[in-house]
Every structure is written in C-alpha cells, then in structure tokens.
C-alpha cells in the first residue's frame, strides 16, 4: 500500500553540506555529527566526504570509519568517489569505508565537454570502476551527475547510460538536480520516466535549492516513486544549498503519509549542533527549527489557542523537541499575557493583568519583542511601583561619557510646574546624574535620601538588548525602601527608579511593603 512506504534518508551534510562557502568541519566535529545522525536521529545513510580531497580529509574519514565500525554503522557510511581507475577506490578502502558513491556523468554535455569522451567510452570507464570496487569489497551506489539537464537536453544519453549499467552490481542509482534547475512538474515527470523504464531499481533523488524549490521537487519525486532522498542539516550546501532535512521529514510524514526511521524529537538538537559547528546561523523563520516558528505574535491567535487550539496545525512543536511561545510586544493582547504568565506560574487578577498588558504594549513600541525571561521583571515593576510620575517630572537629561574625562550629566526637571536645571560630573553616568539631581534638591532645601544599594538584574539568555531591572535601596528618615524600574539601558532604568523614589517622597507615599525599620 502507498501509505506503508518507508523512505530511505541519506544525509550529505558532511560532504555536500561542507561545500557551503566558508564551512569546514573539524575531524572531531565530523565524528560528533555522524554520531548524532546515526545514533540519535536514525538516518539511514550518511555521505561523509569526497575521496582525494586532502590528507586532513583522509584522517577525518578514518576517524569516522573507526567510530562507525565500533558502533556497527560502517555500512551506513558513504564516500563520493570518481571514475579515475582505482585511485578513489583505494583511498576509500584505505580509510576504512565500505561504500562508494561513484560519480558518473548524467548529461551529454558533461560527458562531452568535461570528460572529452564519447558516451561509449565513459560507459566503459564506469563499468571498470564498478567492477574494481566489487573486487575490493566495496558496495557501489551511482550518481548520474547533472541528470536533470540530461533529462531536459539529452534524454537518449541518460537512457543509454542506464541501459548499459542497470544490470551492473549497483545498489542505488542516484538522480541529482545538480544545478537546482528543476521545477516540481519536471521533477515528478522525469522521476516517473526513470521508474517506469527501469522498474525494480532503487532510485534516490538529490535536490538543490537554487530556485527555492528543493522541498517541492522532493515531494514530486517521492510521489513518482523514488525510494530515497538526499538532505542536509539546515539546508547546507553549495550556492543556495540542498533540501533541508527537517522540512523534508515533515513533508514525508504529514503530506505524503510515508514512514522514515527518523526520530523527530532529535531534529532540533542536531540542527543547533550543526549550526554551532558550521557557523551558519539558522534563520529565525526557518521552518521547524527557526527561533520564531512556534511563536504566536497576534493577540487573536493566543486567544484562539486558549479557547480551542484554533491556530495549531500538525506541526506541533513537541514533535521536534520544542515548545510553543506567545510573543510579548506591541501586538500582544490579554491572551498572550495570560499564556506567558501561566507558563511562569504567575496568577494576576483582572486589574493587574490589564496593567501588565498596557506596560508590555508600551515597551513593545521601543523593542520588537519582550522575552519570557523579562516578564517577571515587568510584573514586578508594574505591581510594586506603578508608573505614574505626577509631582516631579523628568523633562530632559543628557549623559556624556568621554574617554579620559569624568562622565557628566545635565538634568532638567519639573517640580509642581516649576523647571529646574543643573549639571554635575561624577565617577559614572548615574553618579553624575544623581549629583545633578541633588544639586537641585539642596538649592531648594529639600531633604534627599541616602542610596544604600544599587542592584542590576539581567534576565537569563545572554541577549544584549534584554530589558534589565535596576533595583535601588534608599534610606530616608530612619527607614529603608526600594524602588525599581525597567529599561534596555541599566542607567536609564536607574534614572526611572530614582524618579519613582522622588515622587514617593514628595507624596509621602512610601509603601509599607517596601520598607523596614532600621535598628
């Protein structure tokens, strides 16, 4: 039955993927990736290298082969080899591998202009390489390089090659869209022609993404009946890359209803490891593995999810070792806030939730997204200190930091409708600000509190644009209390906390929950 088909997955991250500009995996990284692909992710085969690249590559292949032999995976490692007599084959065998992916020419142009040989001559050379590989105990898979152009421009040549090789000891014939030229109609039609003409042969399809059609072409190739597909982790590969592993797996499982051996729950972890090793960042909107793809932004979506999971689809994040998030920002609605508070185990009443929602929308105008890690600080800032500055208002301030000079601050504040301005220098920007402020206060004979402690709390995650909470402890008339504020800049947060303190003093409203008697 069509539904019971199992598709073979061959990962070529370490061979084709390493042809990504600027990517080069260290030997130990390659062993690590092979281990993740075979041991954890359960891919069927891994193409790990090209023969004859370098001495360093040879040693890497040796290490991977040693690991695979020890763990019973040696028949799942494959190395690209060339029709060059026995040179590539000896290189592969000496490295300890057992499978060669032999690169033959799949288009007349490649045969004629690159090899400068007739189809008959090339066919004979390929047969000799196959026979030599078998004599050396190597299994053979065969690439028909540039097969897609061959099917477009020289179909008779493709069939001539296949007619001459179909009875050779070749395990798989691999059909590459080497230059990523195919559209889905062509991919499906060409694969169908191969399968109908050569029934019983195992065909793999190898897609490139030059027109951003790699996944769609894989879809049509599988519908046509190919038995295996080639992928890379994160879509790495030369030019626009190869068909990405994660998207292809979701396509196979959800849209075609076919089976694979892949453990979906390990996909995200493997993708992140390869991201680290390759240095190629995963785009935030990359399906399944991008940072934002399981994040709902609009409030109406969070509301729908809360009521009946109305904005869920089959790509549930838990399948891929991830979880759903609800963005906090200017597009957030009350449901977004509630979903995030639930995730943190925080319960607020209606009034408090409304205040927190209003603050997040306000902060979202300054920054695209507020993170879940920052939410507790926002809640604390809103509920403990409020946000209304009435009697004393900050009208303007300027902070100057110059190498070799003391920081200076100029502040302009309004107190009950009157404007005051002062400038001061200090040991730091906030120190300069506070000295300028207290100059104003002393000129008015107003009492000022003593700063007891200054604490900056940074959310986890290491984001340099995260909202930080500055908590300042004050002593005034024998009592100690705290004010706190939130901003991307810790000095600005400290200024906000100071303004809260001054308004509390002006109004005589020091909350009992915020102070304690000194001994």
Q: Which pTM value belongs to this model? A: 0.68
Q: Closest by alpha carbon to 56, among 93, 79, 28, 80?
A: 28
Please give the CATH number for the structural domain made up of 2-278: 3.20.20.70
pLDDT for res 512: 46
pLDDT band at 51 (very low <50, low <70, confident <90, very high): very high
pLDDT for res 519: 32
Three-class secondary structure of residue 345 per DSSP: coil
Residue 516 pLDDT > 50:
no
With helix as H, strand as E and coil as C, how does 125-163 read?
HHHHHHHHHHHCCCEEEEEEECHHHHHHHCHHHHHHHHH
Provide, rounded to the nearest whole percent, the portion of the chain with pLDDT above 70.
81
Ranges for all domains in the chain classified under CATH 3.30.160.340: 392-517
Q: Closest by alpha carbon to 342, among 329, 326, 361?
A: 326
pLDDT for res 310: 54
Measure the CA–CA gap between 163 and 118, rounded to whole angstroms.
16
Ranges for all domains in the chain classified under CATH 3.20.20.70: 2-278
Measure the CA–CA gap between 27 and 64, rounded to whole angstroms.
8
Measure the CA–CA gap between 149 and 179, rounded to whole angstroms.
8
* Contact criterion met (CB below 8 Å) for 204 and 173: yes
Provide, rounded to the nearest whole percent, the portion of the chain with pLDDT above 90.
59
Please give the CATH number for the structural domain made up of 392-517: 3.30.160.340
Give kind and range of the element (H or E) at residue 454. Answer: strand 450-457
* Contact criterion met (CB below 8 Å) for 150 and 184: no
Contacts of 108 (CB under 8 A, 6+ apart): 119, 150, 153, 154, 157
pLDDT for res 463: 60
Measure the CA–CA gap between 195 and 186, rounded to whole angstroms.
14
Q: 497-517 as b/e, with b when 16 or more CB fall inside 10 Å?
A: bbbbbbbbbeeeebeeebbee
Residue 498 pLDDT > 60:
yes
* CB hemisphere CA count around 284 (13 angstroms): 2
Once rounded to an integer, what is the mean pLDDT over residues 167-191?
98
pLDDT for res 399: 92
* Contact criterion met (CB below 8 Å) for 247 and 234: no
Q: Could you count the other beta carbons within 10 Å of the beta carbon of residue 115?
A: 15
Q: Among 18-22, 201-205, 217-221, name the one with the lowest average pLDDT.
A: 18-22
* Residue 33: C-alpha distances to residues 46, 240, 274, 325 (Å): 10, 22, 7, 29
Angle at 372 (CA atoms; ends 368, 378), nearest 5 degrees:
80
* Contact criterion met (CB below 8 Å) for 291 and 346: no
pLDDT digits (tens, 9 = 90+) for 376-399: 666 766 665 554 556 788 899 999
pLDDT band at 328 (very low <50, low <70, confident <90, very high): low
> Which comes out higher in pLDDT, residue 305 or 103?
103
Residue 363 pLDDT > 50:
yes
* Contact criterion met (CB below 8 Å) for 436 and 411: yes
Measure the CA–CA gap between 216 and 224, rounded to whole angstroms.
13
Catalytic pick among 15, 172, 322, 359: 15
Structure tokens that stand for 193 in this block: 């022609």
Once rounded to an integer, what is the mean pLDDT over residues 99-122?
96
Would residue 281 show up in a list of annotated catalytic residues for this protein?
no
Strand boundaries in 146-239, DSSP class E: 172-176, 203-206, 228-231
Q: Tell me the angle at which helices 155-165 and 119-135 cross, rounded to the nearest 10 degrees.
A: 30
* Contact criterion met (CB below 8 Å) for 154 and 109: yes
| Nearest 10 degrees: Cα torsion 444, 448, 454, 460 | -60
Residue 46, strand partner residues = 11, 77
pLDDT band at 488 (very low <50, low <70, confident <90, very high): confident
Residue 304 pLDDT > 50:
no
Q: What is the mean pLDDT of the chain?
A: 85
Catalytic pick among 18, 78, 145, 374: 145
Measure the CA–CA gap between 238 and 246, rounded to whole angstroms.
18
pLDDT band at 509 (very low <50, low <70, confident <90, very high): low
pLDDT digits (tens, 9 = 90+) for 427-486: 999 999 999 998 998 899 988 888 888 888 776 655 655 667 788 888 888 777 778 777
Would residue 450 show up in a list of annotated catalytic residues for this protein?
no
* Residue 232: C-alpha distances to residues 2, 30, 225, 275 (Å): 26, 14, 21, 12
DSSP string, 49-115: EETTS-HHHHHHHHHHHHHHHHHT-GGGEEEEEESSTTHHHHHHHHHT--EEEEEEE-SHHIIIIIS
Once rounded to an integer, what is the mean pLDDT over residues 116-138?
97
* Residue 468: C-alpha distances to residues 370, 378, 380, 485, 491 (Å): 11, 10, 12, 8, 10
> Which comes out higher in pLDDT, residue 187 or 282?
187
């Amino acid at each position: 039955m069509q539904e019971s088909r199992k598709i073979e997955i061959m990962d070529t991250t370490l061979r084709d993927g390493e042809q990504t500009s600027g990517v080069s995996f260290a030997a130990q990284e390659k062993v690590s990736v092979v281990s993740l692909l075979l041991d954890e992710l359960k891919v069927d085969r891994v193409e790990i290298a090209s023969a004859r690249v370098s001495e360093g590559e040879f040693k890497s292949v040796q290490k991977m082969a040693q690991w695979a032999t020890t763990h019973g995976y040696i028949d799942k490692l494959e190395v690209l080899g060339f029709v060059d007599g026995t040179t590539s084959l000896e290189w592969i065998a000496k490295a300890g591998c057992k499978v060669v992916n032999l690169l033959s020419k799949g288009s007349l142009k490649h045969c004629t202009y690159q090899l400068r040989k007739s189809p008959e001559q090339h066919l004979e050379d390929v047969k000799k390489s196959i026979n030599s590989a078998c004599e050396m105990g190597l299994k053979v898979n065969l690439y028909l390089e540039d097969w897609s152009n061959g099917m477009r421009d020289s179909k008779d040549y493709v069939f001539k090659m296949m007619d001459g090789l179909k009875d050779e000891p070749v395990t798989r014939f691999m059909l590459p869209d080497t230059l990523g030229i195919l559209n889905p109609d062509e991919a499906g039609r060409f694969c169908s022609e191969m399968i109908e003409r050569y029934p019983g042969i195992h065909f793999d399809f190898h897609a490139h993404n030059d027109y951003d059609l790699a996944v769609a072409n894989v879809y049509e190739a599988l519908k046509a009946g190919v038995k295996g597909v080639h992928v890379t982790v994160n879509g790495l590969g030369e030019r626009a890359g190869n068909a990405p592993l994660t998207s292809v797996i979701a396509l196979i499982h959800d849209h075609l209803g076919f089976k694979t051996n892949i453990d979906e729950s390990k996909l995200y972890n493997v993708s992140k490891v390869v991201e680290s090793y390759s240095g190629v960042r995963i785009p935030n909107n990359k399906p399944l593995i991008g940072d934002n793809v399981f994040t709902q932004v609009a409030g109406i979506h969070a509301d729908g999810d809360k009521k009946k999971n109305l904005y869920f689809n089959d790509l549930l994040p838990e399948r891929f070792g991830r979880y759903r998030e609800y963005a906090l920002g200017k597009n957030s609605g009350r449901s977004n806030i509630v979903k995030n508070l639930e995730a943190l185990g925080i319960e607020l009443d209606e009034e408090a939730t409304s205040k927190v929602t209003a603050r997040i929308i306000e902060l979202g105008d300054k920054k695209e997204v507020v993170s879940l890690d920052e939410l507790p600080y926002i809640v604390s800032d809103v509920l403990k200190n409020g946000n209304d500055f009435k009697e004393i208002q900050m009208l303007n301030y300027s902070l100057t930091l110059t190498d070799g000079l003391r920081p200076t601050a100029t502040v302009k504040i309004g107190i009950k409708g009157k404007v005051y301005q002062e400038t001061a220098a200090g040991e730091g920007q906030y120190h300069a600000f506070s000295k300028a402020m207290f100059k104003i206060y002393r000129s008015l004979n107003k009492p000022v509190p003593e700063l007891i402690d200054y604490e900056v709390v940074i959310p986890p995650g290491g984001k340099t644009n995260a909202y930080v909470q500055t908590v300042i402890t004050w002593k005034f008339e024998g009592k100690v209390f705290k004010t706190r504020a939130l901003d991307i800049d810790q000095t600005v947060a400290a200024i906000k906390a100071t303004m809260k303190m001054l308004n509390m003093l002006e109004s005589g409203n020091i909350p009992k929950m915020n102070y304690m008697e000194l001994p």
